[in-house]
Amino acid sequence: MLFKAAAIEVAHIHPQAMLVALHPGTVNSALSVPFNGSEIGRPAADAAGDMLRALDGLPEEETGGFYAHSGDKLPW
């Protein structure tokens, strides 16, 4: 709710702004190795590109939402 409330408040001051939370998926990094035991994710550059494409595809009214790197809406 904090994130959704922040999106509403920012919209009062900056109507064109969008706040969204993005899940990058599993990314190969030192952080993920202890949890998955191997590098089963994808390169960080691929994850970043996917997240930018997801952002480009979101309409303004989706501010305050939570999305996967694929652009799919995720439940809070």
pLDDT digits (tens, 9 = 90+) for 7-63: 999 999 999 899 999 999 888 877 777 766 555 778 889 999 999 999 998 988 889
Mean pLDDT of the region 60-71 = 90
pLDDT at 60: 83
pTM score, whole prediction: 0.76
CA 23 distance to own-chain centroid = 4
| Among 57, 75, 51, residue whose Cα is nearest residue 65 | 75
| Among 27, 56, 61, 60, residue whose Cα is nearest residue 44 | 27
| Residue boundaries of the structural domains of the chain | 2-68
- Which residues lie below 8 Å from residue 39, measured CB to CB, with a gap of 6+? 28, 32, 33
Q: What tokens does 48 get?
A: 């970043």
Q: How crowded is residue 64: how many other Cβ atoms within 10 Å of its Cβ?
A: 19
